[in-house]
Chain A
């Protein structure tokens, strides 16, 4: 087999993996802070992207559009906290999980009802098909950009978590709700922050994915890709999300290229899940997640 080809696939995998991480981050944020597995993250990505692209199409300046979209995501976060989370506070997590499935449907419906369900081209002025050459391997330029954006985002987030008041607050909540409360942090505001942040991450992811695939319903399905990423990386770890993304990314690409052929291809749909399953069986809390201990 050709080494450079391998490299190409590998790096390609890594880069697309980063894209997954981008979505996965949204999940991690919310899970970290509230223990909720937010199934609606995908829908949020779709919603953000749609809003963004439609506003652009109206011919508004990019920055304004960005600002507005952010505003919308904030409102969405607040609405969710008020309508969904507050009434369900200290319910079973599984109930909350199902609620987010409902939320997912709602947002998907809303997004397409408010805007529409056509495919919209989102051009960030990066040529899809220009590629670097490293040795004999071709690396897609766009992917590199995406990777950079994702990397940047992760950096920002970790800084945010480490150095801002809210960030620390979030960490506190993540570690122990009681503790957080006793320190006098209102859980609800926290949740709003978390969901807002998640919303913004979704926006970024949406833009990136949107410009790759075009903004369309399919984007929300990306979330399903992100789930195995989480399982592998661990629900509670930001770096986990990244590493998980990378593993899934190149895992599925390599599998596709080197195994897919034998089994009729298109295995990247389920391969990550199988990967995730294996991880689950060996290490339920994921590679980077905190161990879950049950007392009798």
Chain B
């Protein structure tokens, strides 16, 4: 399942240096360093409450660490408004599905392209000229994504009516619609059955392969993680205890302890 192309693997997309994050009293992250290399699939694993989600939110920029620096493409990243994260080229999916339940699959994905659209209230009211054309232009793009994710048959179904697995797929589609450089997946396979997981793995790999998107994912299913990721970072109680290829991590004593410890 591992992919071949090693192109510009070691140019860094994001560089996180001894980051500390704490909510009130409790420390979520302690002196964590993490590099994200362009074009790789990086998995962040760890027992519950190890700070995985916090890490993801630091990467996405929703949480601003109290200490430490985050470099995005070599530049130190300042505090950013949540809605500008996407414009930076970072898209994400959520642990428990966060689709727009009132809309069809198509519209959900189309909404993902909103930031790429021009806003002209009056033309949109008349559905005229540029706004109409852009609707069509972006529909084309979205249809490519739909085709890519093989969800043609549910294109116009309201997402609330879709089975869990497909909803996850639509959410992935919405994230892809942003054409991100960095894609964050928060437990993409949580609560899926075996086929659904296999599909999702395939799509994650294909995304990484065809669009060269860098992917960071949190996942509990060790099998999946080891299968699809190029690199695995292990957190435990807010501390990074391992970071390396799946095999390296697997054999790391600390990791084994942490997991046995966490039962």
Q: Do A and B contact each other directly (Cβ–Cβ < 8 Å)?
A: yes
- Is A296 an interface position by the 8 A CB rule? yes
A296 CA / B23 CA spacing, docked (Å): 13
Distance in Å: Cβ of A294 to nearest Cβ of chain B? 11
- Is B62 an interface position by the 8 A CB rule? yes
With both beta carbons as reference points, the residue of chain A lying nearest to B57 in the complex is identified as A296
Instruction: Give residues 46-96 of B contacting A (CB, 8 Å).
Output: 53, 57, 62
A296 CA / B58 CA spacing, docked (Å): 12
Distance in Å: Cβ of B53 to nearest Cβ of chain A? 8
Q: Which residues of A contact B62 (CB under 8 A)?
A: 296
Q: Can you report 3 A-B residue pairs in the complex whose CB atoms are below 8 A from each other?
A: A296-B53, A296-B57, A296-B62
With both beta carbons as reference points, the residue of chain A lying nearest to B54 in the complex is identified as A296
Q: Which residues of B contact A296 (CB under 8 A)?
A: 53, 57, 62
- Map CB proximity to A onto B181-221 as digits: 1 under 8 Å, 0 otherwise: 00000000000000000000000000000000000000000
With both beta carbons as reference points, the residue of chain A lying nearest to B60 in the complex is identified as A296
- Map CB proximity to B onto A120-152 as digits: 1 under 8 Å, 0 otherwise: 000000000000000000000000000000000
Q: Which residues of A contact B53 (CB under 8 A)?
A: 296
With both beta carbons as reference points, the residue of chain A lying nearest to B95 in the complex is identified as A296
Interface of A is mostly: loop
- Map CB proximity to A onto B29-61 as digits: 1 under 8 Å, 0 otherwise: 000000000000000000000000100010000
A296 CA / B28 CA spacing, docked (Å): 14
A296 CA / B62 CA spacing, docked (Å): 8
A296 CA / B64 CA spacing, docked (Å): 13
- Map CB proximity to B onto A263-296 as digits: 1 under 8 Å, 0 otherwise: 0000000000000000000000000000000001
Distance in Å: Cβ of B185 to nearest Cβ of chain A? 15
A296 CA / B82 CA spacing, docked (Å): 11
With both beta carbons as reference points, the residue of chain B lying nearest to A293 in the complex is identified as B23
Distance in Å: Cβ of A90 to nearest Cβ of chain B? 16
A91 CA / B53 CA spacing, docked (Å): 28
Distance in Å: Cβ of B75 to nearest Cβ of chain A? 24
Distance in Å: Cβ of B83 to nearest Cβ of chain A? 13
A296 CA / B53 CA spacing, docked (Å): 9
- Map CB proximity to B onto A24-55 as digits: 1 under 8 Å, 0 otherwise: 00000000000000000000000000000000
Distance in Å: Cβ of B48 to nearest Cβ of chain A? 15
Distance in Å: Cβ of B93 to nearest Cβ of chain A? 13
A296 CA / B61 CA spacing, docked (Å): 12
Distance in Å: Cβ of A112 to nearest Cβ of chain B? 38
A124 CA / B53 CA spacing, docked (Å): 62
With both beta carbons as reference points, the residue of chain B lying nearest to A295 in the complex is identified as B53
Q: Which residues of A contact B57 (CB under 8 A)?
A: 296
Instruction: Give residues 89-139 of A contacting B (CB, 8 Å).
Output: none
Distance in Å: Cβ of A227 to nearest Cβ of chain B? 29
Distance in Å: Cβ of A280 to nearest Cβ of chain B? 21
A296 CA / B57 CA spacing, docked (Å): 8
A60 CA / B112 CA spacing, docked (Å): 68
Distance in Å: Cβ of A211 to nearest Cβ of chain B? 49
Distance in Å: Cβ of B61 to nearest Cβ of chain A? 11
Distance in Å: Cβ of B56 to nearest Cβ of chain A? 9
Pairs A-B, 3 closest by C-beta atoms: A296-B62, A296-B57, A296-B53
With both beta carbons as reference points, the residue of chain A lying nearest to B62 in the complex is identified as A296
Distance in Å: Cβ of A20 to nearest Cβ of chain B? 35
A296 CA / B21 CA spacing, docked (Å): 15
Instruction: Give residues 175-222 of A contacting B (CB, 8 Å).
Output: none
Instruction: Give residues 151-169 of B contacting A (CB, 8 Å).
Output: none
Distance in Å: Cβ of A291 to nearest Cβ of chain B? 11
Distance in Å: Cβ of B97 to nearest Cβ of chain A? 14
A296 CA / B92 CA spacing, docked (Å): 12
A176 CA / B105 CA spacing, docked (Å): 35
A176 CA / B57 CA spacing, docked (Å): 27
A296 CA / B56 CA spacing, docked (Å): 11
Distance in Å: Cβ of A214 to nearest Cβ of chain B? 48
Distance in Å: Cβ of A89 to nearest Cβ of chain B? 19
A21 CA / B130 CA spacing, docked (Å): 56
Distance in Å: Cβ of A295 to nearest Cβ of chain B? 9
Distance in Å: Cβ of B85 to nearest Cβ of chain A? 11
A274 CA / B62 CA spacing, docked (Å): 32
Distance in Å: Cβ of B219 to nearest Cβ of chain A? 18
A296 CA / B184 CA spacing, docked (Å): 14
Distance in Å: Cβ of B67 to nearest Cβ of chain A? 20
With both beta carbons as reference points, the residue of chain A lying nearest to B56 in the complex is identified as A296
A111 CA / B154 CA spacing, docked (Å): 51
- Map CB proximity to A onto B113-140 as digits: 1 under 8 Å, 0 otherwise: 0000000000000000000000000000
A296 CA / B59 CA spacing, docked (Å): 13
A127 CA / B40 CA spacing, docked (Å): 83
